Amino acid sequence: MAVVGGGYTGLWTALAVREREPAARVVVLEAEACGAGPSGRNGGFCHGYWAALAAVREVLGDGGALEVVRAAERIIPAVRALEDDVWLREGGMLKVSAAPAQDEAVDRAVEAAGALGVEDEAVPLGRQELAERIRSPVFRKGVYFREGATVQPARLVRALRSAVRRGAELHERTPVVRIEPGELTTPRGRVRAPEIVVATNAWMTGWRPLRGRVTNFGSYVVLTEPVPELVERIGWTGGEAIVDGRMFLHYFRTTNDGRVLMGSGSGPIGYGGRVDERFSRDRATAARAEAGLRRLLPDLAEARVERAWGGPIDVSADHLPFFGTVPGARIHYGAGYSGHGVGPSWLGGQILGSLATGRDDEWTSLPLATRRVPRLPPEPLTRIGGGLVRAAI
């Protein structure tokens, strides 16, 4: 079988197929180097769906939500099982309110967990309790999720790449220019495979089978110089991954070498399936991320920003990923992580691994693989509407 795409989803899928069928010949084709796209250019938040329980519940209902969040609890153990130094730090996750309008996001997380009888998965924190984990004059309250970790994204890619190469064929710098049932075309030849998995994520927005179901938004991060003394000054020593309650949220974390990363999901909006340099070179979005750093963590005002980078994220209409098979073909796909793919890509790999090996199991029966995927508004309404919402907030 063949996998198109050497990011997290494609690599986890290759491993999942080999786990299910050790004798299978698996070929992974990657247009550039593994992780050259968003898999190697993200904030490194690694977790499942407990922090998103309220939103998942709205889409999948109570039973479907619990099914998905419990299946995703195996994500961090799977990363740990790679037995590679990916800078995994399991400090849990915080959602904080930094403005009155953000209080509702914190409250909804707590209420959803309470309604489903899993109160321990979303522990409310008042201003003082929150300050015991991180001090900021703008933080009003928060909620703590035990499930949450951070990784170094490129290190995770390299660990997966090494694991895949031990049991599968990996061809980098081999772009696939045509996908047909049973056959992939590259500039250097063709690959015939009875089962094909397409796992190119942000580059799937222009792929006909998924047209109208996924679009691209840009997300950017800035990274400070090492400032361990400033991090300690604000009491942020537990390694928590943190997001605020905005729609186009800020996400921030510390790194193993004492830096602070701040990201902003308010980047360029794609059009017509194109992925161009706006997604990796947009100074305005990088500036918004830095402004978020200075506003949310003013005690880090003297920290110098050393690096900034960005990339596209594939966004579905309801912000949940979806997986399936092209009707009439043995071509399987997964997309729509909506900025939350580092951890759930493992879950996607399990689903796609089972689809590609013809299994009807716990993975293919998950709602993410069986649900009806809503369509996005037609172009250019998606881009115009997204831009208006971003400007409003």
Residues 199-212 have pLDDT tens digits of 999 999 989 999 99
Residue-level pLDDT at 265: 74
The residue among 196, 153, 154 whose CA lies nearest residue 29 is 196
Cis peptide before 377 (omega within 30 of 0): no
Instruction: Map out the domains of the chain as residue ranges.
Output: 2-392
pLDDT, average across residues 159-170: 98
Sheet of 183-186, strands arranged across: 178-180, 183-186, 189-192
**Residue 209 to residue 197: CA distance in whole angstroms:** 13
Taking only the tens place, the pLDDT of each residue in 236-253 is: 999 999 999 998 799 999
Residue 259 scores a pLDDT above 70? yes
Whether 359 has a pLDDT exceeding 60, the answer reads yes
CA–CA separation, 385 and 393 (whole Å): 13
d(CA 240, CA 150): 8
Across the chain, mean pLDDT equals 93
Fold classified for 2-392: FAD/NAD(P)-binding domain (3.50.50)
Residue 59 or 392, more confident: 59
Per-residue confidence band for 383, with pLDDT thresholds at 50, 70 and 90: very low
Q: Is the pLDDT of residue 282 over 80?
A: no
pLDDT for residue 336: 97
**Whole-number Å distance between alpha carbons of 52 and 46:** 13
**Model confidence at 190: pLDDT above 70:** yes
The pLDDT of residue 226 is above 60? yes
Q: What is the pLDDT of residue 378?
A: 80
Tell me how far CA of residue 10 lies from CA of 87, 152, 161, 254, 351, in angstroms. 21, 18, 10, 28, 12
Over residues 79-113, the pLDDT tens digits come to 999 999 999 999 999 999 999 999 999 999 999 99
Residue 28 Rama label (left phi>0; alpha psi -120 to 50; beta): beta
